[in-house]
Amino acid sequence: MIKIVKRDQPSRAIFFFTPVLAIFLTLVAGGLIFFILGFKPFEALKFFFIVPIADKYGFSELLLKATPLCLIAIGLSFCFKSNNWNIGAEGQLTFGAIVSGGVALLFYEQEGFYILPIVILAGAIGGMLYASIPAILKTYFNTNEILVSLMLVYVSKLILDYLVVGPWSNPEGFNFPETRQFSDSAKLPLLFEGLRIHAGIFLALAAVVISWFVFYKTYLGFQMKVSGFSLKTAKYAGYKGKKMIILVFLISGACAGLAGVGEITGPIGQLHREISPDYGFTAIIVAFLGRLHPVGIIFASLVVAITYLGAETAQIFMQIPKYTGQVFQGMILFFLLASDYLLFFKIKFIGSKK
């Protein structure tokens, strides 16, 4: 007989084990889905998870996709740790890309070492501005940040749409919905000849280190932790709740904005309609899969990045839609939430009762 027993305390080992379990279950369920679709499960999973990163180019692509995911997830963990539910990183990414893209276009056909830092800074500021909207509405008008930040995603996408179709569209571009290519001075340098991996990865790594320091060594990190457990306690302790809400949203927006900069000044090199395959939403999964811990987020972003690559390979070699990638992302989150049950309960196998 199986019996479910409440744990006396959430197990620390289980805390780090459940993400692994979730990934394993995702693989099993994914194999099952492939089987139902008429593919050989192991072969399909190989195409999905191994083939895409089997060579140098593939590995560079993996890092390329993991960079924005990691960066955004780090930013989001500032919000999530302190009980602020910023769901709109995709919008902050888009708006950051718009602002930095605009600045990059100002420097069209100009050269100079100073251009790239300005472009990057502009992206961070763009993301912060956009994230400040739900933060200010939440602190001063008690609105729900989940709704506001989510809806603003669509607003930013429409703004981008308007700009690339209208005022910012390439004059020599035959009315394609895209801007001019940025000048080389406004682009992030590539790390290796022939590979697309670019210097943006250092931004992500810096974010990891800084966030670790803030979370575990500073008063701000302590305040975030307390607020995450109990807002009543934070109030009693006398933390400046409003200031903190705005601060974590700004940090989160800056990270998302930087991720946007990385995309448009890295592999894309211009603004067009589809600058992000929903990195901002997927990063929510990454943040939780990584347990809101900076190191965990590195691993989680690599795992989730594979689903993007795998979906592309699977589309090419097996003619299945690339949206399978999203199915896998969904499954990871689903199984993670489900296996979190084990944090608080354990399963006991006991002999049948007399």
Residues that bind other proteins (CB under 8 A): 5, 8-9, 217-222, 225-226, 229-230, 232-233, 235-240
DSSP 198: B
Sign of torsion, CA 199 201 202 204? positive
**Which residue, 56 or 217, is less far from other proteins as judged by CB?**
217
- The single-letter code of the amino acid at 280 is G
349 by DSSP, 3-state: which? strand
63 by DSSP, 3-state: which? helix
**Which residue, 9 or 319, is less far from other proteins as judged by CB?**
9
Separation between Cα atoms, residue 130 and residue 92, nearest integer Å: 6
Q: State in angstroms the smallest separation of the CB of 9 from other proteins.
A: 7
Residue 6 bridge partners (DSSP) = 345
Q: State in angstroms the smallest separation of the CB of 235 from other proteins.
A: 5
**Which residue, 210 or 316, is less far from other proteins as judged by CB?**
210
Q: State in angstroms the smallest separation of the CB of 233 from other proteins.
A: 5
Separation between Cα atoms, residue 48 and residue 306, nearest integer Å: 8
**Which residue, 182 or 239, is less far from other proteins as judged by CB?**
239
Separation between Cα atoms, residue 251 and residue 74, nearest integer Å: 9
- Phi first, then psi: give them for residue 262, nearest 5 degrees: -55, -40
Q: In which residue are the tokens 């354990």 written? A: 346
Q: State in angstroms the smallest separation of the CB of 244 from other proteins.
A: 13
**Which residue, 110 or 218, is less far from other proteins as judged by CB?**
218
Q: State in angstroms the smallest separation of the CB of 249 from other proteins.
A: 19
Residue 3 bridge partners (DSSP) = 348
